[in-house]
A and B are shown apart, each in its own frame.
Chain A
Amino acid sequence: DGGITQSPKYLFRKEGQNVTLSCEQNLNHDAMYWYRQDPGQGLRLIYYSQIVNDFQKGDIAEGYSVSREKKESFPLTVTSAQKNPTAFYLCASSTQAGNTIYFGEGSWLTVV
């Protein structure tokens, strides 16, 4: 079955460390997205990519970095520059037309 796989589900990070969240899809979707969700708030766009080897900043890109070397993969690195990284992170993918969007199961990141 096609879908999106995010890992890890739960991650603890020490202050000053970079961590990378994995997102893989086998839906043959061109577009992939990373969102952050905080309690009581809507999802906010961190980065998105419409095509391999290209990506764009979203609304809250500071302190994050991404790469899109393969169509199937869109990893997100939370760098030490992100001042408040504790949150729930969701990866999504869609066709170029955006007719249907699929989400991963999410990753909970906690800074300790």
Chain B
Amino acid sequence: KNEVEQSPQNLTAQEGEFITINCSYSVGISALHWLQQHPGGGIVSLFMLSSGKKKHGRLIATINIQEKHSSLHITASHPRDSAVYICAVSGSARQLTFGSGTQLTVLP
């Protein structure tokens, strides 16, 4: 079993829909990261969470430490949100363990 599991693997939505991507992990962590990877391959860090909730524009990330679960929400989705979203966790050694990513496609 992978240490970091994301669901769904693929997600297609219509523009304007509310989107949720889930991440579950099986190890103790010091922080959880949500990353965005565009088709060219470059990766951008969206959030780093150790507890609670963070919001940036239309993106919201939550984490439940007891349940070892995090969600990334996108409100009012737009085609430019189409990308791969990656969950990663860091442990005591601060090394990141990555999920395999969720491919999001938002149709106009």
Complex Cα gap A57–B27 (Å):
21
Is A2 an interface position by the 8 A CB rule? no
Would you call A42 and B99 a contact (CB within 8 A)?
A: yes
Closest to B98 in A: A42
Would you call A105 and B40 a contact (CB within 8 A)?
A: yes
What DSSP secondary structure best describes chain B's contact surface? Answer: strand
Would you call A100 and B45 a contact (CB within 8 A)?
A: yes
Chain A residues with CB under 8 A of B2 = 42
Beyond A48-B95, A98-B94, A99-B48, whether A41 also contacts B41 by CB under 8 A is no
Complex Cα gap A40–B90 (Å):
21
Is A61 an interface position by the 8 A CB rule? no
Is B96 an interface position by the 8 A CB rule? yes
The digit string for B34-73, where 1 denotes a CB below 8 A from any CB of A, is 0100001111110010000000000000000000000000
Complex Cα gap A40–B48 (Å):
23
Chain B residues with CB under 8 A of A88 = 41
Given contacts A42-B101, A98-B30, A101-B96, 18 further A-B contacts (CB under 8 A): A33-B96, A35-B98, A40-B100, A42-B97, A42-B98, A48-B95, A58-B95, A88-B41, A94-B94, A98-B31, A99-B48, A100-B45, A101-B33, A101-B48, A102-B45, A103-B42, A103-B43, A106-B41
B contact set with A: CB distance below 8 Å: 2, 4, 30-31, 33, 35, 40-45, 48, 86, 88, 90, 94-101
A contact set with B: CB distance below 8 Å: 31, 33, 35, 40-45, 48, 58, 88, 90, 92, 94, 97-106, 108
A-B contacts, 29 listed (Cβ < 8 Å): A31-B94, A33-B96, A42-B86, A42-B100, A42-B101, A43-B88, A43-B96, A43-B98, A44-B98, A45-B96, A48-B95, A88-B41, A90-B41, A90-B43, A97-B94, A98-B90, A98-B94, A99-B48, A100-B45, A101-B48, A101-B96, A103-B42, A103-B43, A103-B44, A103-B45, A104-B42, A105-B40, A105-B41, A106-B41
CB-CB nearest 5 A-B residue pairs:
A42-B98, A106-B41, A103-B43, A98-B94, A105-B42
